[in-house]
Amino acid sequence: MRIVSLLPAATEIVGALGLRESLVGRSHACDFPEDVACLPALTRSRVDASLPSSRLDGEVRRVHSAGEPLYLLDEAGLAALAPDVVVTQASCDVCAVSYEQVAAVTRRAAPQAQVVRLLPARLDDVLEDVRRVAAACGVAATGDALADALRLRLEAMRPEKARARPRVAVVEWLDPPMLAGHWVPEAVEAAGGHPVGPAPGQPSPYATWDDVRRLRPDAVVAAPCGFDLARARGEAAPLAATLWTLAPRVLLMDGNAYLNRPGPRLADAVETLAAWLHDGSADGTRACAMSHPA
Residue 48: per-residue pLDDT: 86
d(CA 137, CA 228): 30
CA distance 171 to 225: 9
Write out pLDDT tens, residues 38-61. Answer: 999 999 998 888 888 889 888 888
Lowest mean pLDDT among 145-159, 187-201, 234-248, 280-294: 280-294
The band of 213, judged by pLDDT with boundaries at 50, 70 and 90, is: very high
- The residues, any chain, with a CB within 8 Å of residue 224's CB and separated by 6 or more, are 53, 171, 172, 173, 174, 231, 232, 235, 236, 255
pTM given for the model: 0.94
pLDDT of residue 161: 65
H helical segments located in the chain: 8-16, 53-65, 75-81, 99-109, 123-136, 140-156, 184-190, 209-214, 229-236, 240-244, 266-279
pLDDT of 28 > 70? The answer is yes
**Selection from 187, 227, 184 nearest residue 95 by Cα:** 227
Determine the pLDDT at residue 198.
97
Spell out the domains of the chain, with CATH numbers in brackets. Answer: 3-153 (3.40.50.1980), 160-289 (3.40.50.1980)
> For residue range 271-294, what is the model confidence (pLDDT) as tens digits?
999 999 988 888 788 999 998 876
For residues 236 and 111, give the distance between their C-alpha atoms in angstroms, rounded to a whole number: 45
Band (63; pLDDT cuts 50, 70, 90): confident
The pLDDT tens digits of the residues spanning 76-107 come to 999 999 999 999 998 777 778 999 999 999 99
Phi, psi dihedral angles at 107 (to 5 degrees): -60, -35
Report percent pLDDT > 90 for the chain: 81
What confidence tens digit (pLDDT) does each residue in 139-169 have? 999 999 999 999 999 998 877 665 789 999 9
Residues 290 and 63: their CA atoms lie apart, in Å, by 34
Cβ atoms of 174 and 239 closer than 8 Å: yes
Over residues 6-34, the mean pLDDT reads 97
| Structural contact between residues 94 and 70, judged by C-beta atoms closer than 8 angstroms | yes
